[in-house]
């Protein structure tokens, strides 16, 4: 290899990027301090965009296609570099590839309960979670305001910020919607669409397009769920008076005709009992079950520690006292279970995991 061949071999003449991951949003093409050869081949694949940055300033953005890098393909970079039409020397510029595909099945959930007032149950606490999809819509804006000089930007680097925006808007909307708790499930679709529209502008400020937003579940504390189950059970036996009347009438067909007097007395007692029980069920007692919060115990040195509320458990997870393998128990559980296997506890670990340091 001759001297000039060696020198020109230091220049980059092929620029492309194959994404081998599922979560890379932006990748900076590594030049290793080499210069880009004038006329180099640039391949931008479907679902990608190439952004040229010159001395910290965003220049040209190229969509999918095969390019031969010349002044006519890089008009803004040409202006910034003050190139003339005869330019044919190598040049320096950073090339960022943006992944424009949709990033799906991203999770969101309330870190702390949302406190609101319900007309039927009074003050209650709600937790909610769901999924969303998003994609890079404006590569230049996304790199300038979010990515900066990060050479390998992942979904997790921005997911926490997007989750905070979602939860903030969801909390405001659910608190002001005045939808009864018992009707929330039938309004998931409408709420999802309304929140989706409200979040579009928020995501757009980052150069991101929100493509889908779903509410999967809005839940109340376990004690409130138990109260709802009891209320449902009471509704099943509201016609006890008619039931006892039917049972008494049926018994008449099996009684001996000679025991009419005894049957009359039996019927009288039966009707009296039915009337009394039915009145007791219909008359309000003024008692409303008080929803007590579910409490937990955790094992430390083979000893149970508790009782603790879910907020106290969350604090212990935050300060590393409780980890995913810590054994927990609560009323209704047959055995002690690891924290990672308890649904309402496991979600706290995901919400409290900080983004990786860049």
Band (pLDDT 50/70/90 cuts) for residue 232 is low
| Coil, strand or helix at 37 | strand
pLDDT in tens, 133-156: 999 999 999 999 999 888 899 999
Structure tokens at 123: 């003050």
Highest mean pLDDT among 8-22, 53-67, 173-187: 53-67
Sheet holding 36-44, edge to edge: 12-15, 36-44, 65-68
Mean pLDDT of 3-29: 76
pLDDT digits (tens, 9 = 90+) for 167-199: 988 888 888 877 887 788 788 888 899 999 999
Mean pLDDT of 30-37: 74
Rounded to whole angstroms, the Cα distance separating 263 from 49 reads: 90
Place of tokens 């960022």: 96
What proportions of the chain, in percent to the nearest 5, are helix, strand and coil? 40, 30, 30
The residue whose two tokens read 């390019």 is 67
Dist. CA 321–CA 332, nearest whole Å: 24
């Amino acid at each position: 290899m001759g001297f000039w061949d060696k020198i020109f071999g230091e220049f980059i003449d092929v620029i492309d990027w194959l994404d081998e991951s599922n979560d890379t949003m932006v990748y900076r093409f590594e030049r290793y301090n080499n210069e880009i050869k004038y006329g180099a081949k640039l391949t931008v694949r479907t679902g990608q965009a190439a952004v040229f940055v010159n001395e910290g300033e965003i220049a040209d953005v190229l969509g999918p296609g095969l390019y031969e890098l010349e002044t006519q393909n890089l008009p803004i970079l040409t202006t910034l570099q003050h190139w003339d039409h005869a330019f044919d020397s190598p040049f320096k510029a950073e090339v960022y590839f943006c992944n424009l595909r949709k990033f799906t099945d991203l999770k969101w959930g309330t870190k702390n309960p949302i406190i609101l007032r319900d007309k039927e149950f009074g003050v209650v606490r709600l937790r909610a979670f769901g999924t969303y999809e998003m994609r890079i819509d404006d590569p230049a804006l996304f790199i300038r305001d979010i990515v900066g000089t990060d050479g390998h930007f992942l979904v997790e680097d921005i997911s926490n910020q997007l989750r905070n925006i979602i939860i903030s808007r969801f909390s405001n909307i659910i608190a002001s919607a005045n939808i009864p708790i018992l009707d929330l499930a039938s309004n998931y679709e409408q709420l999802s669409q309304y929140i989706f529209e409200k979040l579009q502008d928020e995501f757009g400020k980052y150069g991101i397009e929100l493509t889908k937003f779903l509410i999967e579940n809005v839940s109340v504390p376990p004690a409130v769920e138990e109260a709802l189950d009891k209320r449902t059970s009471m509704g099943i036996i509201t016609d006890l008076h008619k039931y006892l009347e039917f049972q008494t009438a049926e018994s008449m067909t099996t009684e001996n005709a000679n025991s009419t007097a005894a049957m009359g007395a039996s019927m009288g007692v039966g009707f009296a009992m039915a009337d009394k029980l039915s009145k007791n069920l219909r008359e309000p007692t003024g008692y409303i079950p008080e929803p007590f919060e579910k409490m937990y115990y955790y094992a430390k040195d083979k000893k149970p520690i508790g009782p603790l509320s879910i907020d106290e458990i969350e604090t212990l997870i935050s300060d590393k006292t409780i980890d995913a393998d810590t054994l927990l128990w609560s009323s209704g559980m047959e055995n002690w279970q690891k924290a990672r296997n308890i649904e309402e506890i496991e979600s706290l670990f995901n919400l409290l995991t900080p983004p990786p340091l860049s």
